[in-house]
Structure 1
Amino acid sequence: MLSSDDLDLLVTRGFVVVEGLLPDYLLTALVADCQALDADDALRPAAVGRGEGRTRDASLRGDAIRWIDPHPEVPVRGEFLARLDALRIELNRQLMLGLDHFEAHYAIYPPGAGYVRHVDRFRDDDARTVSFAAYLNPDWSEDDGGALRLYLPGGEVDIVPRLGTCALFLSASIEHEVLTTQRPRMSIAGWFRRRPLLPLKVVPG
């Protein structure tokens, strides 16, 4: 779970970077699962936008993804989702965010790929509240590229995607990008979501 200091940082500056949030055995299993899905050609090129504006353009976003759903033959997925759901409950208890559920996908960026600067919340959908990233890259160095760059009022912050590093940030306000990677880069991207705030309907009296 997050410490009180971690929660304070998420509230006061909009992001927090955490080591040790996921245990080593679980990280090892997630790496193996992601690699197995990639070997089976089970990841698909990611898109940007939504609805009629949804498009696949590797110059904007170059990763391939696979959504993480519970599977009886792959217990690591269920354990990961259970841990993040427990974190959702803790965020609600401590910060009263009204988070309704958590969703996540694996992402693999091939060498030369990245993801241009953007925010995670859609203009017509306010459900995404806190973004989450977990990195699955053993023996990663800054020279390998692929950092998550956050654009903050005080300047840029780069997060190196080393195995076990996790980041949480506010979906609506933190612009970010994935810098060009020099090696295949594995991660989990996720979102803690609340129920959308729907407009009130006026019923004739």
Structure 2
Amino acid sequence: MHFDAPSPFVQGPLLQSIVDDLAEKGWSQQDAFLPDALIAQLATECRARDAAGKLASAAIGRGEGQAVREGIRGDRIQWLEPGQSEACDLYLGALDALRQQINRSLYLGLEDFEGHFALYPPGAFYQKHLDRFRDDDRRALSAVFYLNRDWPVAQGGELRMYLSDERTLDLSPLAGRLVVFLSGEFPHEVLPASHERLSLTGWFRRRG
């Protein structure tokens, strides 16, 4: 999905910072990517959708091989579509502004973005994995945006990234933090948390 109207929130220097990081190291972390008021609206919407039973246990695999396996992945999700809410449309508009900036600077040919709300109940996790399917390389960049206000580090729930130099990087799921990385290059996992953990997770995709 992509939007024609420019985002009212994300500006050129912020977007270029992400582009520069991707060109240099293949991943980027940006805090305060969106305003606090919009983050709060998105968190409220995620919880409301879950309370209404709209978030479903996430599966792994694709096609006929899809299956829910909570021993590997324990989050509940709902996919985003344009027009569902003003808050979601503002978020999707910001991501589309990033898509356009990446295409202008890095020529990745990103066609669209797909994403979903993700709610991890206390104790849930997602084991180490790559975001790109073996038989489908359309997912080029992964983007995770966190909605957890006042999140103490001791609560856990970090995104653990496995970097190319055999180091690991643990990123706390702090509200307003956006993490973008090359989908086929960085294995990662979600560590369990002692509290409910909210995010918006998605992928910029090339043409199939």
TM-score higher than 0.5 = yes
Of 132, 140, 146, the residue aligned with 1:121 is 132
Match of 1:42 in 2: 54
The structural deviation recorded for 1:174 is 0.5
Where do residues 85-96 of structure 1 align in structure 2 (5 Å cutoff)? 85-96=96-107
- Normalising by the residue count of structure 2, what TM-score does the alignment of the two structures yield? 0.90
Shifted more, 97-106 versus 77-86: the winner is 77-86
- Kept in 1, the 8 Å contact 2:162–2:169? The answer is yes
Which residue is equivalent to 1:106?
117
Q: How many residues are treated as equivalent by the alignment? A: 195
The superposition leaves residues 104-130 of structure 1 with CA deviations (integer Å, 9 ceiling, x where unpaired) of 100000111100000000011110001
* Kept after mapping to 1: 8 A contact 2:140/2:203: yes
* Per-residue CA distance 1:120-168 (angstroms, 9 max, x = gap): 0001111000100000001111111110000012300001001111100
State the Cα deviation string for residues 17-61 of structure 1 (Å, max 9, x = none). 001221222111111111111111110000001122211100100
SS at structure 2 position matched to 1:120: coil
Q: 1:1-205 to 2 correspondence within 5 Å?
A: 1=10, 2-71=14-83, 74-154=85-165, 155-196=167-208
**In 2: Cα distance, 1:3 partner to 1:64 partner:** 29
Please tell me whether the aligned partners of residues 139 and 203 of structure 2 are also in contact (alpha carbons under 8 angstroms): yes
- 3-state SS, counterpart of residue 76 of structure 1: helix
Q: How many Å apart are 1:179 and its aligned residue?
A: 0.6
SS class of match (1:32): helix
Q: State the shift of 1:194 in Å.
A: 0.7
Range with greater deviation from structure 2 (18-27 or 125-134): 18-27
Percent identity between the aligned chains? Answer: 45
Contact 2:157 2:190 in 1 (8 A): yes
TM-score (normalizing by structure 1): 0.91
Q: CA deviation at 1:185?
A: 0.4
Residue 12 (structure 1) shift: 2.1
- SS of residue paired to 1:10: helix
Task: Tell whether the 8 Å contact from 2:160 to 2:190 is kept in structure 1 after alignment.
Answer: yes
Shift of 1:3: 4.7
How far apart, CA to CA, are the structure 1 residues paired with 2:201 and 2:15?
Answer: 21
Aligned-CA RMSD value: 1.2
Letter of the structure 2 residue corresponding to residue 58 of structure 1: E
Gaps of 5+ in 2: 1-9
CA shift, 1:6, in A, is 3.1
